[in-house]
Amino acid sequence: MTRIGIALVVAVLTAGGVRAEGLPSILSEEGQAFLVGLRAVEGDADPEPTLRTQERKGKSSKRAFLLSALVPGLGEWYAGSKKRGLIFFGAEAALVGMWAAWTGKGNDLEEEFRAVADEHWDPLNYLAWRGSTISKNSSITHALPCSSEVVEVYIPAMQQSGNADFGGCAPSQIQQYYELIGKYDQYVAGWDDLKRVRRDGSIGNAAVPTEVDSVENFHSERRLRYEDQRDESNRFLKRASTISGVILINHVFSAIDAARVARARAAGADEAALRRRTRLALVMQPWVRGRVPMLVAYKPLD
Neighbours of 142 (CB within 10 A): 11
C-alpha closest to that of 92 among 252, 265, 266? 252
Cβ atoms within 10 Å, residue 9: 10
Label residue 295 by pLDDT band (50, 70, 90). Answer: low
**Shared domain check, 220 and 130:** yes
More confident position, 51 or 164: 164
Q: What is the pLDDT of residues 198-253, one digit of tens each?
A: 888 888 888 888 888 777 788 889 999 999 999 999 999 999 999 999 999 999 99
Length of the chain: 302
Per-residue confidence at 34, pLDDT binned at 50, 70, 90?
very low
CB-CB neighbours of 52 under 10 Å? 11
Residues 92 and 202 grouped into a single domain: yes
Question: Cα–Cα distance between 182 and 117 in angstroms, integer?
Answer: 9
d(CA 128, CA 192): 13
Instruction: Tell me, yes or no, whether 251 lies in a domain.
Output: yes
Rounded Cα distance, 203 and 200, in Å: 9
> For residue 54, what pLDDT is reported?
43
Asked whether residue 21 is domain-assigned, the answer is yes
What pLDDT, on a 0 to 100 scale, did the predictor assign at position 2? Answer: 43
Instruction: Flag whether 9 is in a domain.
Output: yes
Asked whether residue 253 is domain-assigned, the answer is yes
Same domain, 79 and 16: no
Domain membership of residue 283 (yes or no) is yes
The more confident residue out of 259 and 298 is: 259
Is residue 223 located within the same domain as residue 273? yes
**Residue-number span of the structural domain to which 82 is assigned:** 64-142+184-298
Q: Are residues 72 and 138 in the same domain?
A: yes
Q: Residue 285: beta bridge partners?
A: 292
**Residues 6 and 115 both lie in one domain:** no
Specify the number of domains making up the chain. Answer: 2
Is 165 inside any structural domain? no
Classify residue 176: in a domain, yes or no.
Answer: no
CA distances from 186 to 115, 135, 202 (A): 21, 9, 20
Q: Is residue 173 part of a domain?
A: no
> What's residue 235's pLDDT?
94
Cα gap 159→6, rounded to integer Å: 108
Q: Are residues 36 and 101 in the same domain?
A: no
Residues pairing with 218 in the sheet: 196
Q: Does residue 232 share a domain with residue 122?
A: yes
Q: Which amino acid is at 56?
A: R
Residues 6+ apart with CB under 8 A from 177: 144, 145, 146, 150, 166, 169
Is residue 29 located within the same domain as residue 91?
A: no
Average pLDDT value for the chain: 77
Do 7 and 104 lie in one domain? The reply is no
